[in-house]
Copies of this chain bind each other. A is one copy, B any other.
Amino acid sequence: MGLNCEYYVESDMSLEKAGETIGLEESTGTWTEVETKPNDIEYLTAKVSSVDEENNLVVVEFPDELFEENNIPQILSVVAGNLFGLSSLKNVRLKDISFSEEIAKSFPGPRYGINDIKKIVGAENRPLFGTIIKPKVGLPPKKTAKVAYEAAMGGVDLVKDDETLTSQEFNLIEDRISEVMEELDKAKEETGHETLYACNVTADNKEAVERAKLVEESGGNMVMVDVITSGFSTLKAVSEAVDLPVHVHRAMHAAFTRKRKHGISMVPVSKLVRLAGGSQLHTGSYHGKMHGEKKEITKSKRALRDEWFNHKPALPVASGGIHPGLVAKNLNYYGKNSVIQAGGGIHGHPDGTREGAKAMKQAIIAWKEDISLEEYSKNHRALAKALERWGERAEYDY
């Protein structure tokens, strides 16, 4: 079986030869023959399993025996290692990884699947929607909590920290978690609706685990990890340490995902996040401020949600420059098993955070009931005011 990895390749060699070069570099070969090579290691050699000349794609099969189970850093060192630097290749992009059952099942996967999370917030029949506290940084814990309260009163399912907010002097995590949960509990008493708070525990591995435990002990109901900057190993450790769903941010990903011909696609990243225990992952917006390839977003979303060995499905998250006018454009692609988030698109509402949250929810209901925003906004003031401000276009379209 092994791991079948699909690479887009450009080089002066044939695709077959390029695939062989990758396979040898990452398994039993080197650039010259060596006398230390024994005869019995053919079973470890990665080989080309298919070639698609039209699309410059080659699939390389890496035998299971090359890998350590339950060790993502080691797997990446093989299938996404030196090969990116080979002088003999001009461009190479890891597009997808197809895992063998044995390797895939050696990982824990998400503790909380889509249904588990939907049940918590009572959103069985609709997408979740959430907000990122804005501004990204600078609010003290009490003010953060007030914004969270307003958003919860407006109906959001999820409030999250921004990816750069961890535990700086102006907002220590121990103060923030208790203040925010207090306000969210208050909102729950008033509305009956539980709001998740994705508290960002991103730090060195051990410290992240300690922060996650603090969140759990403080009555928190979700933790958040920046997976690329802190490592898959940190995500997994956090997910194993606490009985909470993990919201996964991908800050830094576009350093290697953005160029279409080189680097790593979000598809394998999505699979690795699911293996490591992420319950929600940012996979991009079909329309917003961040760059995204529609095809890759679609494949990432499937990687998170499709039936896959014994692992629970995870929720794709659309985020970045979203406002009520862009909700339908995104949900048409993501569907109801997703999370749609707005930061500026909620807190920038002319009547403030609470009305901004209401406007987002109205846009979601309009989408669900297949009513145009124009029509629905006639009787929904919050939505009408959001549309007045931002219309139905993304910021960078203006």
Picked from B36, B74, B169, B395, the residue with its CB within 8 Å of the CB of A32 is B395
List which A161-190 residues lie within 8 A (CB) of chain B. 163-164, 166-170
Interface string of A34-47 (1 = CB under 8 A from B): 11111011001000
Contact call A34/B237, Cβ cutoff below 8 A: no
Closest residue to A143 on the B side, CB-wise? Answer: B38
12 A-B pairs in the complex with CB atoms less than 8 angstroms apart: A29-B136, A35-B347, A37-B134, A38-B143, A66-B164, A71-B166, A80-B252, A81-B163, A81-B252, A82-B163, A204-B233, A205-B233
Contact call B290/A86, Cβ cutoff below 8 A: yes
Which label, helix, strand, loop or mixed, suits the secondary structure of the A interface? loop
Nearest-Cβ distance from residue A368 to partner chain B, whole angstroms: 25
Contact call A163/B31, Cβ cutoff below 8 A: no
When distances are taken between beta carbons in the complex, the residues of chain B under 8 Å from A168 are 65-68
Is A2 an interface residue, CB under 8 A from the partner?
no
Task: Sort A-B residue pairs by CB-CB distance and give the 10 closest, nearest first.
Answer: A231-B231, A41-B138, A85-B254, A84-B254, A81-B251, A205-B205, A73-B230, A34-B347, A76-B229, A32-B344
Is A51 an interface residue, CB under 8 A from the partner?
no
| A contacts with B, residue count (CB < 8 A) | 102
List which A301-328 residues lie within 8 A (CB) of chain B. 320-321, 323
Which A positions have Cβ atoms within 8 angstroms of B? 26-38, 40-41, 44, 65-68, 70-74, 76-78, 80-82, 84-88, 94, 133-139, 143, 147, 163-164, 166-170, 202-208, 226, 228-234, 236-237, 249, 251-259, 262-264, 289-292, 320-321, 323, 343-345, 347-349, 352-353, 390, 394-396
Contact call A137/B73, Cβ cutoff below 8 A: no
| 16 other A-B residue contacts (CB within 8 Å) besides A68-B168, A205-B237 | A26-B136, A32-B395, A33-B348, A35-B347, A36-B347, A36-B353, A37-B134, A38-B139, A41-B137, A65-B169, A74-B229, A205-B205, A205-B234, A230-B233, A231-B234, A256-B263
Contact call A290/B347, Cβ cutoff below 8 A: no
When distances are taken between beta carbons in the complex, the residues of chain B under 8 Å from A164 are 26-27, 66, 74, 77-78, 81
Known contacts A27-B136, A33-B348, A137-B44; is-contact A204 B237 (Cβ 8 Å): yes
When distances are taken between beta carbons in the complex, the residues of chain B under 8 Å from A396 are 87-88
